[in-house]
Structure 1
Amino acid sequence: ENIFKNIRRQSGYNIFYNADMLKTVPPISINLTNVSIDAAVKKCLEGTNLDFKIVDKNVIISVKPTSEKSQSKDISISGKVTDDKSIALPGVSIRVKGTNFSSATDTSGHYRIKVPSENSVLIFSFLGFSTQERTVARSTVINISLQEQNQGLNEVVVVGYGELNKKDLTGSVASVSIKDLEKTPIARVDQMLQGRIAGVDLISTSGEPGAGTSVRIRGTRSINANNEPLYVVDGIIDAGDLSNINPSDIESLQVLKDASSTAIYGSRGANGVIIITTKKGAPGKDVFNYNAEVGVAYLPRFLDMMNATEYATMVNENTLLANPNAVNLPYPDAASLGEGTNWTKEVTRTAPYNNHSLSASGGNAGLRYYFSGNYVNQKGIIKASGFERYQTRLNLDKTFSQKLKAGLRLNYSATVTEMNKVDIGSHAGWWNSTLALPPVMGVHDGGDVEGGFEDWNPGWYSGGVINSPVALVEMMKHDSYRKNLWLNAFLEYEPIKNLKFKSAFSNTNYFRNDSRYDPGQLPRRAFLEAGGYAVKQAYTYEKLLSENTVTYAKSWTDKHRLNLLGGFTIQKTKAVNQWQRGQGYLVDATEDNNMQATGIESTTITSNLEETALVSVLGRINYDYKRKYYLTLT
């Protein structure tokens, strides 16, 4: 392709080809001086299955017929490709579906291609136009008219406190195609953004099931402050944890990226805004949908680590390097140790994944409904880790008259997360990470599965007692329970044409309970005679939000269009956090459910209350002249 570009630049000839043709051509390097365009192209294609012809100032690359025998059986198809205004399209790619046969149109839009049979299907594709397929049948001349893609300019997108045609936007707003995601297994909403919108980066916070991601829209804005975007779900501002939403319930997802589009949300929209709208029922026949996703997750490969024999040999060699006269080597019979322990394999597994969604929708002209339920069970690749979610949603839309409408959005979810308890490999806690532990260390004392866990790490400086990854996986408890209830109700009134008043009220209730218990029988705690260690945290959060807006839309003389928005919002939040830690517990059976069973000197208790209030005034003017000149003031 680089050579073709140089030929085009030096000769002024246009070169038409299908990029798929070049995938089987090995890289080449040529140096030509004072040669004709014919000789230059012929030299480039020497030894390949490609041919060319020159028409006027155009070079058209095509695939050679495979053999004389196949050529005699092939059917020759010709024709012309134009746009919907009958203007010829040069460089249109034509290929035979399921084969390597391909060609391209010349400057007058004409083409010729060989097909193996009458059942062959021709695929016509060109940038900026909709792809078409045509079965050959008994035709030898096939003329095609390609339709120009409108790029979704008439698509209606949701912006802050309203909707606009995509072509009328002055700000940067991107949409995620929900249809493209229907066959993709997705458990969390933020996964819907992965690799689908330019300028939006997702960074995984951890590999745990159910773990969230850090979203960055057009990069990091601040060194110290929060860089997460503002989430708006069905009008609920700052919706928080997206793990409470079933991705199957989403109807549209828009990302507001620049200052023009996010200004309506003030400083809260400084990092971008993600607007999520959930599905609504449609009048007519009731529709029921059930979707099930079942799969597994596993490590596709393991790092190539030393086995026990290799590790012991290395330690012996290091000993001799330090003291060539050493007699007592750490591992006198290194060859007998074999593979030893692969700690990563000991704590990982093939993890099953289940996602079940059931929905019902329908209604009539007066009342529409959408109801859904969702269950997700995702086990972690690390043993004793996983994520489980129960979720249900109810959306109601009531039309009282042409002037008065109301709606209700209700979402409830409960999640249980079994946290990861081991370290695969990092600088912190390296002495008991699976990559740093020596393979000569066994899982159990003396290799007895019925015995206790091996706790002596010979690779930790001069050796020391640790909690092995297997001991942590099998003995430690670390869980997080979360419940979330969203309620949003709105009333919309249109007293006169084009003038609308809307009042919405939302309530968010969130509860999180985290518990952790390290039993006193964990090897290192038992060695130190420290007893059990427990942490318990309870966090509750409530938010009340009232939004009141008025909009007015007017157009006249088919040239001027004006859209006005004004309103105010009131928000109150209350957060209560209680945290307790204790150690020295003698009875492991009660875990973290008997926090008072230790002395006051071994217990730490903290609690805090935080209340906030926010009042906002907002306004926006959208004006356009002849749909060519646009003005947005916010």
Structure 2
Amino acid sequence: LISVFSQVPSVLKGKVIDETGEALIGVTIIEVNELNRSLNGTVTDLNGNFTLRLSNPDTKVRISYIGFMTEEHTISGQTFLEVDLEEETQLLDEVVVTAEAKKIGGFIPVSERDLTSAVSTVDMKELEEIKVSSVGEMLQGRASNVDITMASGDPGAGMSVRIRGTASISGSNQPLIVVDGVPFEIELDNDFDFSAVTQEQFSGLLNIAPEDILTIQVLKDAAATAVWGSRGANGVLLIETKRGVKGKTTFDYIYKLSILQQPKSIPLLDGDSYSMLMLEGILNSGSTEIPKELAYDKNWEEYHNYSQNTNWLDEITQTGLAHDHNFSLMGGGESALYRFSLGYLDQEGTTKGTHFTRFTSRFNLDYHVSRKLLFSGDLSYAYSDNDLSYRESTEHYQDARGVRQLAYIKAPNMSIYDFDPEGNMSDNYFSPGENFQGSGNRWYNPVAMANESTWNRKQHRLRTKFQLKYNILDNLVFQSFVAYDIDN
């Protein structure tokens, strides 16, 4: 005799109402097991009725509805269930909603949907986790039609900025830079050649700490730059710094540690391969005169100085470290808003002998005398100390090159340090006055110049601004400011 037992699924019917007895539409009814997993579910109809097929007569059902408290009921063979849901009430704290119109051009509030001119905006919140040390590094690849070229890979080096390409052959192509409504003046010598790259003059932008910047707007076309006149013909960079906000005084400290490394270079020949290639070139040209520097004559007294395998690029390259400290204090009440910040950057370059140190401080104060009258004051000071790698003067050489450029083409069979005829290395750098590549003035020892040469640039910059703003009407504002910029 074989007996088979099966559990017949049961059906639960019911109705869901609120405290007033009115039926609730769309209430969710779910069957759950002992592990709180959902098995079956349904919702109430227009009259608050529901029908739920249960997998087990002894189970639990959960009833939930937006704005009402969730309930659970144990079903022990029941076939009908009437539920009276209670409303869920929660107390909320005060909610304050504030809005600020976006300013395009630094003067007139224009919403983004009404904007018709060519403007790109870079929000610093998107770059908080990215290690950058200058405005140029911020903008690289962040705004369309903006080309930024760094003068070199050295820390603190200048940069060249182009908005929508080069507009002039003989004149300046650099855009106008405006910081908090005040043009950032760049002083040029009277004999300065505008057709040359002017990135060194723009290195002053490195003295604005990235953590002090709120947004950067790039004005590209004539409509966007019209308010700045002819000075904005090459475009305008509008930099807005952070200011105080209403609330309790808050302190922020940010420390960033960065490890800087040069990317892997193209493969370079060693000394032996280089000498063989040069000899092949000489012989293929039909000449039989072989320079002593390539002959590998062991009886020659300079043999050891011209039989090495020197990787000049590796010899001048190092792993750099950057320490970036930033401290800020901000707050304010109904009338006064303030922000104070300090920044210190200590960056070691990837080329030996390069180093950049920057100290910045900034204080912003906004005082609302009334709803219509506002006084504001800004004070900023920046100091930078920059050790750059050696570079030839453009006055003497049209194709002036730096240490790293020469390291790529310097003969790798030459020695870094001087050897005597017996092959004993000295502490003196090997820098012959003439060699088969050319004059020693141009074909100098890159390691010697990287370690021993000095090119130091110090800069002090103090900027102050006092502003008066009076709202005459909703669409009529009187604004006046005076600014001082001392650069040494």
Q: What's the TM-score, normalizing by structure 1?
A: 0.52
The one of 165, 171, 174 aligned to 1:219: 165
Q: Is 2:428 the counterpart of 1:435?
A: no
Indicate the residue corresponding to 2:104 in structure 1: 158
Q: Is the 8 A contact 2:305 2:415 kept in 1?
A: no
Q: Is the 8 A contact 1:157 1:254 kept in 2?
A: no
Secondary structure of the residue aligned to 1:411 is strand
The one of 337, 349, 356 aligned to 2:325: 356
Question: Compared with structure 1, are the counterparts of its residues 471 and 403 closer, same or farther at alpha carbon in structure 2 (3 Å cutoff)?
Answer: same
Indicate the residue corresponding to 1:191 in structure 2: 137
Q: Is the 8 A contact 1:309 1:335 kept in 2?
A: no
Indicate the residue corresponding to 2:431 in structure 1: 455
Q: Is the 8 A contact 1:263 1:269 kept in 2?
A: yes
Q: Is the 8 A contact 2:291 2:436 kept in 1?
A: no
Q: Is the 8 A contact 2:391 2:400 kept in 1?
A: no
Indicate the residue corresponding to 2:252 in structure 1: 289
Indicate the residue corresponding to 1:472 in structure 2: 449
CA distance in 2, matches of 1:177, 1:336: 55
Q: Is the 8 A contact 1:421 1:472 kept in 2?
A: yes
Paired residues for 1:191-590 under 5 Å: 191-240=137-186, 241-317=204-280, 322=286, 330-332=295-297, 340-421=309-390, 428=400, 433-446=406-419, 450-456=426-432, 458-461=435-438, 467-495=444-472, 498-511=475-488
Counterpart AA for 1:184: I
Indicate the residue corresponding to 1:37 in structure 2: none
Question: Compared with structure 1, are the counterparts of its residues 187 and 393 closer, same or farther at alpha carbon in structure 2 (3 Å cutoff)?
Answer: same
Kindly indicate whether structure 1 or structure 2 has the higher relative contact order, using CA contacts under 8 Å at least 6 residues apart: 2
Question: Compared with structure 1, are the counterparts of its residues 500 and 319 closer, same or farther at alpha carbon in structure 2 (3 Å cutoff)?
Answer: closer
Secondary structure of the residue aligned to 1:300 is coil
CA distance in 2, matches of 1:409, 1:355: 23
CA distance in 1, matches of 2:184, 2:467: 18
Indicate the residue corresponding to 1:22 in structure 2: none
Counterpart AA for 2:415: G
Question: Compared with structure 1, are the counterparts of its residues 174 and 443 closer, same or farther at alpha carbon in structure 2 (3 Å cutoff)?
Answer: same
Counterpart AA for 2:111: N
Question: Compared with structure 1, are the counterparts of its residues 210 and 362 closer, same or farther at alpha carbon in structure 2 (3 Å cutoff)?
Answer: same
Q: Is the 8 A contact 2:296 2:307 kept in 1?
A: no
Paired residues for 1:31-50 under 5 Å: none
1:447-485 alpha-carbon deviations (Å, 9 max, x no partner): 766521111263325999953111212222111111111
Q: Is the 8 A contact 2:296 2:306 kept in 1?
A: no
Indicate the residue corresponding to 2:69 in structure 1: none
Counterpart AA for 2:211: S
CA distance in 2, matches of 1:352, 1:182: 19
Instruction: Give the alignment's Cα RMSD to 1 decimal.
Output: 3.2
How far apart are residue 506 of structure 1 and its match? 0.6
Counterpart AA for 2:364: N
Question: Compared with structure 1, are the counterparts of its residues 504 and 351 closer, same or farther at alpha carbon in structure 2 (3 Å cutoff)?
Answer: same
CA distance in 2, matches of 1:326, 1:264: 67
How far apart are residue 386 of structure 1 and its match? 2.0
How far apart are residue 158 of structure 1 and its match? 3.3
Q: Is the 8 A contact 1:229 1:273 kept in 2?
A: yes
Question: Compared with structure 1, are the counterparts of its residues 276 and 339 closer, same or farther at alpha carbon in structure 2 (3 Å cutoff)?
Answer: same
Q: Is 2:128 the counterpart of 1:182?
A: yes
Which structure shows the bigger proportion of residues in strand conformation?
1
Counterpart AA for 1:170: T
Question: Compared with structure 1, are the counterparts of its residues 168 and 154 closer, same or farther at alpha carbon in structure 2 (3 Å cutoff)?
Answer: farther
1:298-319 alpha-carbon deviations (Å, 9 max, x no partner): 2232332221222333345456
1:422-452 alpha-carbon deviations (Å, 9 max, x no partner): 58xx954699921222222111111766521
Counterpart AA for 1:169: L
Q: Is the 8 A contact 1:416 1:481 kept in 2?
A: yes
Question: Compared with structure 1, are the counterparts of its residues 318 and 264 closer, same or farther at alpha carbon in structure 2 (3 Å cutoff)?
Answer: closer
CA distance in 2, matches of 1:325, 1:415: 53
CA distance in 1, matches of 2:157, 2:335: 41
CA distance in 2, matches of 1:173, 1:190: 18
Question: Compared with structure 1, are the counterparts of its residues 323 and 164 closer, same or farther at alpha carbon in structure 2 (3 Å cutoff)?
Answer: closer
How far apart are residue 177 of structure 1 and its match? 2.2
Counterpart AA for 2:256: E
1:239-273 alpha-carbon deviations (Å, 9 max, x no partner): 44311211111112211111111111111111111
Q: Is the 8 A contact 1:352 1:379 kept in 2?
A: yes
CA distance in 2, matches of 1:205, 1:465: 20
CA distance in 2, matches of 1:182, 1:326: 59
CA distance in 1, matches of 2:440, 2:282: 15
How far apart are residue 327 of structure 1 and its match? 13
1:16-45 alpha-carbon deviations (Å, 9 max, x no partner): xxxxxxxxxxxxxxxxxxxxxxxxxxxxxx
Secondary structure of the residue aligned to 2:347 is strand
Gaps of 5+ in 1: 1-152, 512-634
CA distance in 1, matches of 2:479, 2:174: 29
How far apart are residue 497 of structure 1 and its match? 5.4
Indicate the residue corresponding to 1:113 in structure 2: none
How far apart are residue 412 of structure 1 and its match? 0.5
CA distance in 1, matches of 2:441, 2:373: 74
CA distance in 2, matches of 1:377, 1:206: 18
Deviates more, 1:328-337 or 1:175-184: 328-337
Q: Is the 8 A contact 2:431 2:440 kept in 1?
A: no
1:107-137 alpha-carbon deviations (Å, 9 max, x no partner): xxxxxxxxxxxxxxxxxxxxxxxxxxxxxxx
How far apart are residue 366 of structure 1 and its match? 1.4
CA distance in 2, matches of 1:462, 1:420: 21
CA distance in 2, matches of 1:327, 1:376: 49
CA distance in 1, matches of 2:165, 2:290: 58
How far apart are residue 227 of structure 1 and its match? 1.0
Secondary structure of the residue aligned to 1:452 is strand
Give aligned-pair identity as a percent.
34
Secondary structure of the residue aligned to 1:227 is coil
